[in-house]
Amino acid sequence: MSSAVRLFPRKLLVACLGAALVLMTARAAPAQVFDPGTFELSNGLKVVVLPDHRSPVVHHMVWYRVGAADEPAGKSGLAHLLEHMMFKGTKTLAAGEFSKIIARHGGNDNAFTSDNYTAYYQSIAREHLPMVMEMEADRMVNLLFGEEDFRTELSVVREERRARTDTEPSSLLMEQMRKRLWGDYPYANPVIGWEDELVRLTREDALAFYDRFYGPDNAILIVAGDVRTEDVRPLAERTYGQLKSRGFGVRSRDRVPGAALDDTMVLHHWQVRQPSITRILVAPAQSSDPNGHVDALKVFAELLGRGPTSHLYRSLVVDRKIAVSAGAWYSAESLDYGTFGLYAIPAEGVSTETLVKELDAELARLLASGVDADEVARARHRLKAGLVYARDSLSRGAQTMGVALTTGSTVESVESWPARLDAVTVEAVEAAAKALFNPDTRRMVTGILLPGQDAEGEAAQ
């Protein structure tokens, strides 16, 4: 069964995805990260091979260029629900048999959905790769499920929403913050869907979504592990290569998040014991960066709010002791727009109002005084040295490439990241930070989570 939506804390998810994109190498420029092999089948399927011969294991992933932000209006949660349905049967496999076969051969499999992509993966011994590719190619075009299967999985998804969002105050607040931040842009909808829209989804909706978005020319195959590109190519031709191209067009979204915004949302909830502050801003994306700020913003996020030596942590936690935690994160691996975030948890006896003011003051001081060359160099070094193990995980390399290629980036962009990081200057960091936090143009929402409830005992917003 699918694991469904990955509901990690966003800062952790961003750290993991960022980690996959940064790697030290001993090679001179141009730096190489994974040094992959690539090719494309005649039906449009793109293939990336990441050789790693340390153990006789492979990590096989199929990524589709479709996620929650591609759903028809009023049908939120459909992409994720279809992810569940992909574990049902095909013309040759009974419902649930896919995962049982993988398990019988000593492997494991799962899937996940985001705003911009849906991915399916299997980790298994190298000799079983042909079998995995045959089964994954089969369900790419031959998915079958009945009304009862659909209703069962819809109930599962609704229960996931109740367990992971409706009963989690921080998730409820973030959901409303995203809705306010993104306005009419599709990132406003939660990946798991709005409850009132979930209950109206039908089997016909899921099948239509599958027919529209699933096919070889809207997919990317990534194989990492004890394989060579010349080994994978004939296997891919024999399995995925037999599928017909579906004629998918160019992926585009004609909506925008909206004009400048500076809003604050407060949620009181009876489950909250520790107040917290979260701030999110619309930011440039790796694949849509007209001013060239993305790499500098990654360095800025590192020096501003990652770890105990960052500006926010030193000022608010160590020196002034008005917070017990503070930090920043930046997610640039997205389509069209990224997200920059800040967070802080007040120390005992410190109000959230006070901490918000001090957070603003610390940002203002840093933007006014600027950063120095040494801290930029240290941030670049931490990004590299802290993430040198990216190659040690088969799944991380495949994750890196999959996210990049499904959000409008390229293999070349991933491979050139260390060299671009080395080129980030003090001036570039300052320019990017000032542009992001420019009060005349920034689109920003601050969320405050507090204990308490309204007169009826329900959470009060």
**Bridge partners, 64 (sequence order):** 118, 219
Give the domain range for residue 56.
35-242
Same domain, 227 and 145: yes
Q: What pLDDT band is residue 387 in, cutting at 50, 70 and 90? A: low
Higher pLDDT, 242 or 249: 242
Q: Are the C-beta atoms of 286 and 332 separated by less than 8 Å?
A: yes
Structural domain includes residue 7: no
Give the pLDDT of residue 255: 82
Same domain, 356 and 434: yes
Write the CATH number for 168. Answer: 3.30.830.10
Between CA 324 and CA 350 the distance in angstroms is: 10
Structural domain includes residue 23: no
Give the pLDDT of residue 331: 96
User: Going by DSSP bridges, is the β-strand pair 338-346/276-283 parallel, antiparallel, or unpaired?
Assistant: antiparallel
Between CA 290 and CA 49 the distance in angstroms is: 30
Structural domain includes residue 457: no
The answer to whether residue 20 scores a pLDDT higher than 50 is: no
Give the pLDDT of residue 386: 59
Length of the chain equals: 461
Span 336-356, average pLDDT: 97
Span 444-450, average pLDDT: 98
Q: What pLDDT band is residue 384 in, cutting at 50, 70 and 90? A: confident
- Give the tens place of pLDDT for each residue, 36-64: 999 999 999 999 999 999 999 999 999 99
**Bridge partners, 286 (sequence order):** none
Which residue among 213, 242, 271 closes a domain? 242
**Crossing angle, helix 294-305 and helix 426-436, to 10 degrees?**
90
Same domain, 218 and 292: no
Look over the chain and give the mean of its residue pLDDT values, rounded to a whole number.
90
Lowest-pLDDT choice from 119-128, 248-257, 368-377: 248-257
* Number of other residues whose CB lies within 10 A of the CB of residue 97: 15
The answer to whether residue 456 scores a pLDDT higher than 50 is: no
- What secondary structure letter does DSSP report for 241? G
Give the pLDDT of residue 445: 98
- Per DSSP, the residues of 10-48 read HHHHHHHHHHHT----SSPSSP-SS--EEEE-TTS-EEE
Give the pLDDT of residue 410: 93
| Catalytic residue status for 83 | yes
Structural domain includes residue 256: no
The answer to whether residue 86 scores a pLDDT higher than 80 is: yes
Same domain, 377 and 304: yes
- Give the tens place of pLDDT for each residue, 388-400: 666 678 888 899 9
The answer to whether residue 29 scores a pLDDT higher than 50 is: no
Give the pLDDT of residue 389: 64
Which residue among 242, 273, 300 closes a domain? 242
Q: Are the C-beta atoms of 454 and 268 separated by less than 8 Å?
A: yes
Strand order through the sheet with 323-331: 261-269, 443-451, 276-283, 338-346, 323-331
In a 13 Å sphere around the CA of 284, the CA atoms on its Cβ side amount to 18
The answer to whether residue 454 scores a pLDDT higher than 80 is: no
Span 407-430, average pLDDT: 93
Same domain, 342 and 436: yes
Tell me the three state secondary structure of residue 184.
Answer: coil
Same domain, 236 and 283: no
Q: What pLDDT band is residue 33 in, cutting at 50, 70 and 90? A: confident
User: Residue 433: enclosing H or E segment and its boundaries?
Assistant: helix 426-436
Same domain, 92 and 59: yes
Span 321-333, average pLDDT: 97
Structural domain includes residue 1: no
Give the pLDDT of residue 10: 40
Same domain, 163 and 223: yes
Higher pLDDT, 351 or 384: 351
Give the pLDDT of residue 17: 41
Give the pLDDT of residue 417: 86
Tell me the three state secondary structure of residue 157.
Answer: helix
The answer to whether residue 249 scores a pLDDT higher than 80 is: no
Same domain, 305 and 354: yes
The answer to whether residue 2 scores a pLDDT higher than 70 is: no
Structural domain includes residue 461: no
Residue owning tokens 């199929």: 62
Q: Which of 83, 160, 333, 430 is catalytic?
A: 83
Q: What pLDDT band is residue 382 in, cutting at 50, 70 and 90? A: confident
The answer to whether residue 335 scores a pLDDT higher than 50 is: yes
Same domain, 238 and 285: no
- Give the tens place of pLDDT for each residue, 130-173: 999 999 999 999 999 999 999 999 999 999 999 999 999 999 99
The answer to whether residue 216 scores a pLDDT higher than 70 is: yes
Structural domain includes residue 340: yes
User: What is the tally of structural domains in the chain?
Assistant: 2
Structural domain includes residue 279: yes
Percent of the chain with pLDDT over 70: 90
Give the pLDDT of residue 231: 95
What separation in angstroms does the CA of 428 have from each of 7, 21, 422?
Answer: 33, 20, 12
Q: What pLDDT band is residue 21 in, cutting at 50, 70 and 90? A: very low
Write phi, then psi, for 88 (nearest 5 degrees).
-85, -160
Higher pLDDT, 419 or 148: 148
Q: What pLDDT band is residue 27 in, cutting at 50, 70 and 90? A: very low
Span 216-241, average pLDDT: 97
- What secondary structure letter does DSSP report for 245? P
Environment class of 264 (CB within 10 Å of its CB; exposed 0-12, middle 13-18, buried 19+): middle
The answer to whether residue 16 scores a pLDDT higher than 60 is: no
Lowest-pLDDT choice from 72-86, 113-127, 334-348, 441-455: 441-455
Same domain, 117 and 167: yes
Which residue among 242, 269, 284 closes a domain? 242
Give the pLDDT of residue 359: 96
Same domain, 166 and 203: yes
- What secondary structure letter does DSSP report for 196? H
Tell me the three state secondary structure of residue 372.
Answer: coil
